[in-house]
Chain A
Amino acid sequence: MKSFLILEDGTVFEGQNVGSTQDVISEIVFNTSMTGYLEVLTDPSYAGQAVVMTYPLIGNYGITPDMESKKPWPMGYVVRELSRIPSNFRSEGTIQDFLQKNNIHGITGIDTRALTKILREKGTMNGLFTVNENYNLDEIIPKLKEYHTGDVVSKVTCKEKSILKGNGKKVALLDLGAKKNIAKSLNERGCEVVIYPAHTTAEEILNSNPDGIMLSNGPGDPKDCKTIIEEIKKLYNSDIPIFAICLGHQLMALATGADTHKMKYGHRGGNHPVKDLATGRVYISSQNHGYVVDTDTLDEKIAKPAFVNVNDGTNEGLSYVGKNIFTVQFHPEACPGPQDSSYLFDRFIDMMGGEK
């Protein structure tokens, strides 16, 4: 069956349908990772979006046990070609079945490079996935322009708190759409990790007397998270060490008076160089963000840039003055992507007073 991707600017791409046949409107973003399509699909930060994979051959190793959350989150999935057979010793099925089962509207046979170039030139856009050949652009485009990802954090966060047992430091992880490997990275280092739903009050977290607080990644516009920002202000004012990733990093910046803005087309992939300003070392990082902290709005009495993106000079991390708080825009938990910055979890453990 044919399927169409219609962009806000009126461009139409035609391909073959896989997975769901339902009409879907979402924000279209591209990811340049060459491996890790399953980790991308199950990253909650993609809630409200559809992902275009720039690597043309997807599904080669099938579905493996590498999910970063319970389910896939993108509403649409755009690829050049899906492998006819998956091949890997851990493969449990095909990506075709996976999309079908999870009701995701996929399109194959798309000139993903041409699509990516449009998104690069014109910036991230909304789009409609449809199998209806008689689409009417005049009706569709206004609808596309209206679409906003909205409060997606509430959709992706856990419903109840849960605990990963450990004998080391006690970490409270605020789940704003956390990838599994954040909790796992801490747990592997001995931490007991208590995972809290996004709308947990600061009071509840502080009352549990954690050794450290971890703010996770998550989807959407950080400014939509108004109530969470208020709670984070309270966490900032406690003396508990805090480490934040991606959305968590943006929310901490907003909570302390800095601003964020939407980037033209964001950073999504596994090859972004970030420079640790303290050492001059450059690390290759995994990234997935469409918003960024505005460096100009930083109050240097509160926070200083700690990492910068070597390609475009955007902010990639902050250290908070006089506080045991540091936050990064990229993903030290990787999955997918390079594990070069996983040392930051060790730094966090040190900040909490080292191993017990």
Chain B
Amino acid sequence: MPKNNAIKKVLVIGSGPIVIGQAAEFDYAGTQACRSLKEEGIEVCLVNSNPATIMTDKEIADQVYIEPLDLKVLKEIIIKEKPDSILPTLGGQAGLNLGMELAESGFLEEHNVKLIGTTAETIFKAEDRQAFKDTMEKIGEPVAASLVVKNVEDGIKFTNTIGYPVVLRPAFTLGGSGGGIANNEQELVDILTNGLRLSRVGEVLVERCIAGWKEVEYEVMRDANGNCITVCNMENIDPVGVHTGDSIVVAPSQTLSDKEYQMLRSSALNIIDELKITGGCNVQYALNPDSFEYCVIEVNPRVSRSSALASKATGYPIAKVTAKIALGYNLDEIENAITKKTYASFEPMLDYCVVKIPRLPFDKFITAKRTLTTQMKATGEVMSICDNFEGALMKAIRSLEQHVDSMRSYDFTKLSKEELLEQLKLVDDRRIWVIAEALRKGISYEQIHEITKIDLWFIDKIAILVEMENKLEKEELTVELLKEAKRIQFPDNVIAELTKIDEEKIRQMRYDNNIVAAFKMVDTCAAEFEAETPYYYSVYGSENEAVETKPEKKVLVLGSGPIRIGQGVEFDYCSVHCTWAFAKEGWETVIVNNNPETVSTDFDIADKLYFEPLTAEDVESIVNIEKPDGAVVQFGGQTAIKLTEALMKMGVEILGTKAEDVDAAEDRELFDEILEKTQIPRAAGGTVFTADEAKEVANRLGYPVLVRPSYVLGGQGMQIAFNDEEIEEYMGIINRYAQDHPILVDKYLQGKEIEVDAVCDGEDILIPGIMEHIERTGVHSGDSISVYPAPTITDKVRDTIVEYTKRLAKALHVKGLINIQFIDMDDEVYVIEVNPRSSRTVPYISKVTGIPIVDLATKVILGETIKSLGYEPGLAPTADYIAIKMPVFSFEKLRGAEISLGPEMKSTGECLGIAKDFNEALYKAFLGAGVVLPKHKQMIMTVKDADKEEAVGVARRFANLGYKIYATRSTAKYLNDNGIEALRINKISQESPNVMDLILGHKIDLVIDTPTQGGDKSRDGFLIRRNAIETGVNCLTSLDTANALARAMETANGKLTPVDIAKVKNA
């Protein structure tokens, strides 16, 4: 069927802030789909609360609403924009749930708006546990014995009939939130209670445990005519029991025979046909490794993280095709964008192997449990492509940027055989390294398999890597051995380490013997047809097919790797915009990145895409082929910045700010010189390497001090220390990994934190806007609520900031972007840190001010000036709107993680509140972050002594809002003494009823707990915060945030006016 011409204006719902389980993949899918719709002449109206996304650009949609993904707001937008259709299957679970709520409420029908793509009925059949089970039974597709329960008693009763262990899956939650495996009644009660609470509909599925079976996924497509295809299947190396988002995944499946492959494929097509899916869909299976028995685990009737992975793994653009199908096209009417010769109605054939590894945040949350379960914990992922599995695995691990590059990177050598056998039982992110050590200690494949249930084929591949390590260590390095090591993608530095030969000599030996990387193309068809899209991956020992191009100018854009806390989708936004800007200026663009979830790794963003690890060696191989005229590193976060020196050694010109100036900003001594020269004050400090040196500096400055490593993003390892013991502790944590650069110890100043992003052309600067943080210094900027324009600074402070920014940008010879953080302490301005690169706030401030910062920065890098681009240097005129960026956390997904805010960043994403009025913007920001209060109007306060005075004001505001306040002993007394009614409750360690009972009673809206500074040693505070988070209670650890929340609540129930930011222009 050709396009349905009745569809003229489509509302696309995005997925909101990045949280664990819902990340950049939806920006990728949404952006691709919007472009696909616009290509068809459709007017696109977009809603997404996440300002860091590319999909919320005015280039991507006709109307852009960066508004809370809330029913009320969506209704306002629909009334205002009058779309004829809504496409809800691109915004993950969040978008899908909203689409469903709109449909269920009858609102859509009333306003004559249709859900296009998959229908509400289909979504219900796939998402509702019972309806899904009934449907599967009807068509004879097996599911594990299960029952949907609404209370704990029924769960226990049912489990007694099928036996432990059981898997618990709450309905309608992201990333399996609140799910888990229960081995006994106590665990069942714990998980089930939590799951029932988290489920939107208060339902949890109790299911026969099939842990240990192979987990296999199929990505399938169907059009309205009933044509069905499989895009790709994927096999999880980790058997059932680990969330697929946390599993190492390989595509295509490796250990399934054709009989098994086709059995599951036929099943998947059978299911989507019965569900009448139109668009992309994901079906997950558990396959008994010892028979043909299988179970359908779940069906996602929408694009997903897996579909993003499948798109990148095969070159088949699932989101794009899904959008076309929603418009009425059939698969055989949609062109294959890679070959341009074939159509979307075919199945991609791979002639390579793809490995995906999750990026887990345990380097950030060192107290969090590393155990992997059915509840996802990864913040992002990397993908690699090679013509052999071992090579793909090696490339993937070094893409993680977690100090791992070989099977020795996590050291388990001290464990005895017996200890290893125990360790193997532990399912965590280091399992393949434990297996490697087990193999080294002579534990048999069968024994490892018996414990881990990981297929022998994968164990053998790890063994091949271990054997190569042994050979390199023991044998002479012959050309043949080197060839074989490179074939399975051992990096030179690992070969050097094992052979004890200098890395440079290894490199020379490679070049002398022509052992260099060749590049192969991802073409969807295993070379059967000629492909036109230069999407490449490296292999060794093969013919190179990367086409040599000699354009007038060629630029290498380095991406930002996996999404992690501190380096999120913002940097992909910057990389993509920089690429587009170079293309507009007539440059050929080449992107290198390894993150399958992002827009930058879509094959039609740059002229060429290299899906490769971002290490010096891997990039050098690309440089050898492409010979770029220059590289830009300032948009790809720390990942790209780190490669600056290596690129210069390769003879690649760094476009924009020079490497030595980047160094000057990071190197303490050089930076101090610059501050001296520019006469800008900063907190006193010093540089150290050891704990003893740190203590010496700290005592000289006087506590508290800020301790942090240099050259990091997101304040990794940054802490405020109040005494010598804490210095010892924090230095120990930082020095877990050898530091190339000194550690900084600074006097901690408490004041207002101010942040600016600016473009500098070497002479003039342009500051689109000044942002002020709600939280005082000490809370990482990424975790602070950030307000544009800065609401409380004086004119003098503002002028000083503009002046300092100008001086610093000039002194550092910045060409392009610069980000500076300042402290405003009693109207005195101090600089905290300077980053001569793009920052987390660039996308947000671009959108709010209408100034395309990345575009301008790129043009400046290419020689334009701020004046020639038509901008008045200095601080740009203030926009008409207040925009508030609110951090969003994923603490409930990370058992045991410390949630209190501090100098180390912990948030996974952000959302925006934008309005003409400050209070409305603040309210929207909280709403977008999912803080919807009041509910029960009861709260708990427990604050440290230093905060007690200030806490009175906060308490009064909440009391005036009608809140009943519970407080621990000293806080209660202080509040009562100051005329605020507060009920005293017992601490956890005291007898019941205590604070914990109160939290678990589900009658508390909010916990305000300010931890004793410098890391909370009392288990009480930690337990209160963890339990609050895990039972879904909002928990604030800063009084500044609490005040902001009170303010937002004081203005609640006002009218919310949606703002179309596509219409925001710079005055």
Interface residue ranges, A against B (CB under 8 Å): 30, 32-36, 38-39, 54-57, 60-61, 64, 66, 80-81, 83-90, 111-114, 116-117, 120, 269-273, 275, 280-284, 310-311, 334-340
Specify the chain A residue showing the minimal Cβ separation from B250.
A57
A60 to B225 Cα, complex, angstroms: 37
Q: How far is the CB of B332 from chain A (nearest CB, A)?
A: 5
CB <8 Å contact, B290 and A310: no
CB <8 Å contact, A61 and B257: yes
Known: A271-B347, A271-B349. A56 touches B258 (CB 8 A): no
Known: A32-B349, A34-B252. A120 touches B530 (CB 8 A): yes
Specify the chain A residue showing the minimal Cβ separation from B521.
A113
CB <8 Å contact, A271 and B346: yes
Residue B525 CB within 8 A of the other chain: yes
CB <8 Å contact, A60 and B227: no
CB <8 Å contact, B261 and A89: no
CB <8 Å contact, B332 and A56: no
Q: Which of A56, A66, A86, A280 contacts B387 (CB 8 A)?
A: A56
Q: Which residues of B contact A284 (CB under 8 A)?
A: 228-230, 345-347
CB <8 Å contact, B255 and A87: yes
CB <8 Å contact, B528 and A88: no
Q: Which residues of B contact A88 (CB under 8 A)?
A: 255, 257
| Contacts A54-B528, A113-B520, A338-B230 supplied; 19 other A-B pairs, CB < 8 Å | A32-B349, A32-B525, A34-B261, A34-B350, A64-B257, A84-B460, A113-B351, A113-B387, A113-B526, A271-B347, A273-B343, A273-B345, A273-B346, A282-B330, A311-B342, A335-B258, A338-B265, A339-B266, A340-B266
CB <8 Å contact, B258 and A35: yes
Q: How far is the CB of B1045 from chain A (nearest CB, A)?
A: 54
CB <8 Å contact, A89 and B343: no
Known: A87-B456, A114-B543. A55 touches B351 (CB 8 A): yes
CB <8 Å contact, B527 and A120: yes
Would you give 25 A-B contacts (Cβ < 8 Å), ordered by A?
Answer: A33-B258, A34-B252, A38-B258, A54-B351, A54-B528, A56-B352, A56-B388, A61-B256, A84-B464, A85-B456, A85-B457, A85-B460, A89-B289, A111-B541, A112-B351, A116-B527, A120-B530, A271-B349, A282-B331, A284-B346, A310-B343, A335-B258, A339-B266, A340-B266, A340-B269
Specify the chain B residue showing the minimal Cβ separation from A64.
B257
A88 to B253 Cα, complex, angstroms: 13
Q: How far is the CB of A115 from chain B (nearest CB, A)?
A: 9
A35 to B349 Cα, complex, angstroms: 10
Q: Which of B226, B290, B346 contacts A311 (CB 8 A)?
A: B346
A271 to B266 Cα, complex, angstroms: 14
A158 to B261 Cα, complex, angstroms: 30
CB <8 Å contact, B460 and A271: no
A39 to B345 Cα, complex, angstroms: 24
Q: Which residues of A contact B226 (CB under 8 A)?
A: 281
Residue B348 CB within 8 A of the other chain: yes
Query: Interface on chain B toward A: helix, strand, loop, or mixed SS?
Result: loop
Known: A85-B457, A275-B332, A282-B331. A36 touches B389 (CB 8 A): no
CB <8 Å contact, A81 and B346: no
Q: How far is the CB of A40 from chain B (nearest CB, A)?
A: 9
A81 to B392 Cα, complex, angstroms: 14
CB <8 Å contact, A120 and B259: no
A117 to B545 Cα, complex, angstroms: 10
A336 to B263 Cα, complex, angstroms: 11
CB <8 Å contact, B526 and A116: yes
A150 to B332 Cα, complex, angstroms: 37
Q: Which of A30, A39, A85, A271 contacts B348 (CB 8 A)?
A: A271
Which 4 interchain pairs have the tightest Cβ spacing? A36-B258, A271-B347, A54-B526, A87-B457
CB <8 Å contact, B256 and A339: no
CB <8 Å contact, B353 and A56: yes
Residue B151 CB within 8 A of the other chain: no
The 8 A CB mask of B1027-1038 against A (1 = contact, 0 = none) is: 000000000000
Q: Which of B261, B347, B542 contacts A114 (CB 8 A)?
A: B542
Q: Which residues of A contact B253 (CB under 8 A)?
A: 35
Q: Which residues of B contact A117 (CB under 8 A)?
A: 527, 545
CB <8 Å contact, A32 and B332: no
Q: Which residues of B contact A35 (CB under 8 A)?
A: 252-253, 256-258, 261-262
Residue B455 CB within 8 A of the other chain: yes
Q: Which residues of A contact B331 (CB under 8 A)?
A: 282
A276 to B795 Cα, complex, angstroms: 74
Q: Which residues of B contact A120 (CB under 8 A)?
A: 527-530
| Number of interface residues, chain B, beta carbon within 8 A | 57
Q: Which residues of A contact B255 (CB under 8 A)?
A: 60-61, 87-88
A87 to B259 Cα, complex, angstroms: 14
The 8 A CB mask of B513-550 against A (1 = contact, 0 = none) is: 00000001000011111100000000001110100000
Specify the chain A residue showing the minimal Cβ separation from B387.
A56
A281 to B388 Cα, complex, angstroms: 37
Known: A89-B289, A111-B542. A337 touches B262 (CB 8 A): yes
Q: Which residues of A contact B388 (CB under 8 A)?
A: 56-57, 80-81
Q: Which residues of A contact B505 (CB under 8 A)?
A: none
Specify the chain A residue showing the minimal Cβ separation from B528.
A32
A339 to B261 Cα, complex, angstroms: 11
CB <8 Å contact, B343 and A311: yes
Residue B194 CB within 8 A of the other chain: no
A111 to B258 Cα, complex, angstroms: 24
Q: Which residues of B contact A271 (CB under 8 A)?
A: 346-349, 525
Q: How far is the CB of A57 from chain B (nearest CB, A)?
A: 6
Q: Which residues of B contact A338 (CB under 8 A)?
A: 230, 262, 265-266, 347
CB <8 Å contact, B456 and A39: no
The 8 A CB mask of B732-760 against A (1 = contact, 0 = none) is: 00000000000000000000000000000
CB <8 Å contact, A339 and B460: no
A269 to B387 Cα, complex, angstroms: 19
A111 to B541 Cα, complex, angstroms: 8
Specify the chain A residue showing the minimal Cβ separation from B288.
A89
A142 to B257 Cα, complex, angstroms: 40
CB <8 Å contact, B346 and A272: yes
Q: Which residues of A contact B1057 (CB under 8 A)?
A: none
Residue B584 CB within 8 A of the other chain: no
Q: Which residues of B contact A270 (CB under 8 A)?
A: 347, 349
Residue B341 CB within 8 A of the other chain: yes
Residue B478 CB within 8 A of the other chain: no
A30 to B348 Cα, complex, angstroms: 16
A10 to B503 Cα, complex, angstroms: 39
Q: Which of A61, A269, A281, A337 contacts B227 (CB 8 A)?
A: A281
A310 to B265 Cα, complex, angstroms: 21
Q: Which residues of A contact B259 (CB under 8 A)?
A: 64, 66
Q: Which of B225, B291, B464, B529 contacts A89 (CB 8 A)?
A: B291
Q: How far is the CB of A131 from chain B (nearest CB, A)?
A: 19
Q: Which residues of B contact A336 (CB under 8 A)?
A: 258, 262
Q: Which residues of A contact B456 (CB under 8 A)?
A: 85, 87
Specify the chain B residue showing the minimal Cβ separation from A117.
B527
Q: Which of B290, B330, B349 contacts A54 (CB 8 A)?
A: B349
Residue B452 CB within 8 A of the other chain: no
A54 to B524 Cα, complex, angstroms: 12
Q: Which residues of A contact B525 (CB under 8 A)?
A: 32, 271
Specify the chain B residue showing the minimal Cβ separation from A90.
B257
CB <8 Å contact, B351 and A56: yes
Specify the chain A residue showing the minimal Cβ separation from B455.
A87
Q: Which residues of B contact A33 (CB under 8 A)?
A: 258, 349
Q: Which of A55, A85, A89 contacts B350 (CB 8 A)?
A: A55
Residue B254 CB within 8 A of the other chain: yes
Q: Which residues of A contact B258 (CB under 8 A)?
A: 33, 35-36, 38-39, 66, 335-337
Q: Which residues of A contact B464 (CB under 8 A)?
A: 84
A85 to B445 Cα, complex, angstroms: 11
Specify the chain B residue showing the minimal Cβ separation from A336.
B258
The 8 A CB mask of B767-806 against A (1 = contact, 0 = none) is: 0000000000000000000000000000000000000000
B433-458 interface with A by 8 A CB criterion: 445, 455-457
A253 to B535 Cα, complex, angstroms: 42
Specify the chain A residue showing the minimal Cβ separation from B347.
A271
The 8 A CB mask of B276-308 against A (1 = contact, 0 = none) is: 000000000000011100000000000000000
